[in-house]
Structure 1
Amino acid sequence: MSKYLVDKFLYSVDRDPELTERYREDPVELVAWWEANLAGSLLNCIPAEQTTWLAFTDEERRALAEHDHVALFGMGAHPFLTLTLFIALFERDHGPMEYQLAYARALDHVTQPYPDIAT
């Protein structure tokens, strides 16, 4: 897994309201589009320098497409990046702090030591 690439996806989608909405409405399409069009350019890689780490694994692609923050956390994605993006995606569908509490409950089974989130 390229934790850096997954974290870059989470960060860049969260910082762009248009991408956030596209990710909310059609995550499969947005993940595929981002991987094909932005993965290399956001990391300043010219085509001759692109390598396989500039592509998601099938597991990463599935977790991103399914908005599966528990799987992403288990793979080492930074929890603050998933939390802030997923708040932008889903908080409007819930009452105050309802989504954040549900997010935490979904990770309740995780015990220390947590997955390494260093990139």
Structure 2
Amino acid sequence: MSKYLLNKFLFTVDRDPELVERYREDPRGTVEWWEAEHANRLLSCHGGEASTWLRFEDAEREALAGHDYPRLFELGAHPFLTLTLFIAMFERDHEPMGFQTEYARRLAHMTMPYPDIAT
């Protein structure tokens, strides 16, 4: 499992409004496209440098494709990254602070110690 790759996906998608919409409308397609095109690009590099080995595991891919943020948290994705991205995607479907309340409700079963979010 690569918490780094999960967090990289959440981070990069959240910073591009077009990708946020693409991920909202076609989560599985966006995850597959991003994994093929962006997973191995280096965050700090603007040139052609890339790695070749980063891939999501099935559980990660399914959680991302299913917008399953409780499962992403269980897998070690950083909660601030999941919260900000999912607010961008779903806050419009709720009353003010409604999505944040839903997020907290769906994660209420989690008790300390929380999953390790270190990458």
How high is the TM-score relative to the length of structure 1?
A: 0.93
Q: Distance in 1 between matches of 2:8 and 2:85?
A: 12
Give the Å deviation of 1:76: 0.5
Q: Which contiguous aligned blocks of 4+ residues in structure 1 show a shift greater than 6 angstroms?
A: none
Give unpaired runs (5+ residues) of structure 2: none
* 1:35 maps to 2:35: yes
Match of 2:79 in 1: 79
Q: For the aligned residues, what is the CA RMSD?
A: 1.3
> Partner of 2:28: helix, strand, or coil?
helix
1:106 matched residue in structure 2: 106
Aligned-residue offset at 1:95: 0.4
Residues 43-96 of structure 1 deviation map (CA, whole Å, 9 limit, x = unaligned): 45846x412xx1000000000000000000001000000000000000001100
Task: Give unmatched runs, 5+ long, in structure 1.
Answer: none
The corresponding residue for 1:4 is 4
Report the CA distance shift for 1:18/1:42 in structure 2 as closer, same or farther (over 3 A).
farther
Which residue of structure 2 lines up, in the alignment, with residue 62 of structure 1?
A: 62
TM-score, normalised to structure 2, is: 0.93
Task: Count residues with an aligned counterpart.
Answer: 116
Greater helix percent: which structure?
1
Using the aligned pairs only, state the percent identity.
Answer: 66
